[in-house]
Amino acid sequence: MTQELSSSAQRVQEALAGFGMDLQVMELTQSTRTSAEAALAVGCDVGQIAKSLIFRARQSGQAVLVIASGRNRVDEKRVAVLLGEAIGKADADFVRAATGFVIGGVPPVGHSQPLQTLIDGDLLAYDEIWAAAGTPNALFRLAPAELVTITGGTVGEVKREA
Ligand code: 5CA
């Protein structure tokens, strides 16, 4: 059954199609704005939600994408070491400008500009994971290796230790 996607979700679907991968964006009626809501909506572990977080590199002002397991918090110091530059939090306007999407729907691909990308190594432990697809109601399922391929991201240790 084909259902029409909103324009933001459609942009993500087109970006995925451009990679030649058969990955399908699903737009739900439930909220997937947070990792917990997304996990509930698709019936997976919260650790299987690949959340796309935007930070701002302090020197260059560049946007940096960190894709983390929904179970983890990101350690900004570790990210800084991996990047070779300190980072700070991004506000909602910066996220929108850097990605073309609103917080709660930021996808791992399809951004308005290429983004330097780091991927939480914990995501690679799962057979399948879910990522946001442009809106706070849209997701797609993929394998962790596919996430690495489509983002060109660097897998590393980015989580804050409990
Ligand atoms: N769709 C879900 C699952 S993929 C999602 O996008 N979750 S998320 O965790 O990646 O997106 C919410 C994230 O946005 C939060 O973890 C937080 O890092 C960020 N965020 C939330 N509110 C703000 C805000 N006011 N300013 C900047 N960042 C924010």
Domain 7-156 has CATH 3.90.960.10: yes
Ligand 1 midpoint to CA 125 (Å): 23
Of all protein residues, the one whose alpha carbon is nearest to atom 22 of ligand 1 is: 103
Of all protein residues, the one whose alpha carbon is nearest to atom 27 of ligand 1 is: 91
Q: Could you tell which of 25, 99, 103 is best to mutate to test the pocket of ligand 1, judged by most ligand atoms within 8 Å of the CB?
A: 103
Q: What is the pLDDT of residue 2?
A: 55
| Confidence (pTM) | 0.96
Of all protein residues, the one whose alpha carbon is nearest to atom 6 of ligand 1 is: 104
Q: What is the pLDDT of residue 47?
A: 98
Cα distances (angstroms) measured from residue 12 to each of 25, 54, 88, 138: 8, 17, 26, 10
- Ranges in the chain, pLDDT < 70: 1-3
